Structure 1
Amino acid sequence: MSANIPPLYDKERAAASRGREEYLAREGDSKWPLLLEHIGACRRLVDLGCGWGQLLHLAAGRVEEVWGVDESPDRIKDAARACPRAKLVCCRMQQLQLPGGYFDVAVACQVLHEVKLFGAPEELQAALGEIRRVLSQGGRFLLLDHLDAGAGEVAVALPPEGLDRLRRFERKFTCYAAAHAAAGEGVIRIAKRTLQDFLTKAHWLDSAMEELEMKETHNVFQSSGTIGMLESAGLAVEEWIEFADIRRDLASFGAGLTAGGPWRRKFLAVAIKK
């Protein structure tokens, strides 16, 4: 890993992120069963941006070789504890220190959006080129990340404590100007993108992750552009799945839509090395 580029996740951020992931796992986070289903039977798996090693731990019993990559030394240490049999490499996705043509499956779970948002314009394509390089012929790339909510507004019934938290979020969020408008007693009108960012980031307020999370959006990838991006990197998309209904996130705040339809805020793209 380049000594000139510090990792996004230092020790405090790594610990905060792990705590959140463990909480979501207890609440039945749907992304892990979905990923395991599409990993299927394979000999060699690499998790790119493996974090504290949750996917490695879950997949270790069904895959012959599990590898993990992360740019954060602290997260690599956590992953070693979570999955002792994993082979772990500390490097950036744009410069993978991995053998070429080796892996049956490569996974990037909620990590490529950080390359896109915080890296130079060419770094996302560089990362995809590296992913293709390390896959065997016909190997599968599983890209799971945040889906752009799209333009438009919805009306939301939000209890007072949720409204207070929304106002705090709007004051601290710096990625763009986040705002809402009153639309009646206990009801607001809000852009779909702003609502999605609020619902997926409010839990980071007053945590070690706050500074990072308030600088980025979770409205990152759109289906057509993402499929085209993967195709141009030599990765043919065979399946596109959208999941994580926004209504579940609203319910966790005691909130609900009163006007405007729901949407799904995450996607899984299954692509094959051409």
Structure 2
Amino acid sequence: MRIGLLGTGPWARLVHAPALAGHPDVELVGVWGRRPEAAEELAGQHGTRAYHDVDALLADVAAVAVALPPDVQADLAVRAARAGRHLLLDKPLATNLAQGRAVAGAAREAQVASVVFFTTRFQPEATAWIAEQADRGGWFTARAQWLGAAFANGSPFAASPWRRERGALWDVGPHALSVLLPILGDVGHVAAAAHGPGDTVHVVLRHSGGASSALDLSLTAPPAAAGAAVELRGESGVEVLPESADGALPAFGRAVDALCAAARNGRTHSCDAAFALRVTEILAEAERRLAASEG
């Protein structure tokens, strides 16, 4: 598959570009970025071409991988889908419902494949665990903690404007929901949401299967306290999400595999734009709950 990369920031440099350039079933055709000099540098590092016109890149590829802030991603994803290009997107799909619906709608109408990179969903240990717990059922409650230190010294994302503006709810909230939804079912009701220290938020959900869940989300946790954990409690006892043996780079390679397969066989992937839109809807409701709690 001929793929173009949109974006030149830390996530593109650390994950997208090396995974695409090293993938045996993909040709990294070129790189486009909002800063032409950064696109030239990243393209040069991976032996490909920098594009200064995004439409020229779209004309040369079958798919795009997007590593851009969510508001920028959404508009370009719609543009790419309407050009008939398959979509490998990042979470969150968007940070407002209008943009999220536009992306999911454009992908559906153009009948292009879409995969959204919820990192945990592309790690083998987590994938097997999620499937096992979904089959087991009988869950009473769950707790998901995604606590990061994104703005600490040395973090490649310390200068990320959209993360500072939108915070943990929108950055790590999608990860937590990507694990809980396939196990506990869709969210029927956002029961409560409250602020904690820094950008920390606490969200309580009621799921369609009858279970409840609590999310603790932060990008401003002390580095020593950072980490992710999911615990389920139910009829069969207590289950904990296993740690992954690998990181984001191999997981992204599996997301590339998933996009290639979906484009080839026409089957919808479980982490497609429609699923990512549902995550966006839940986060938007939680954000409304937070605003109401401040009032």
Q: Which has the higher contact order (CA 8 A, sep 6+)?
A: 2
Larger helix percent? 2
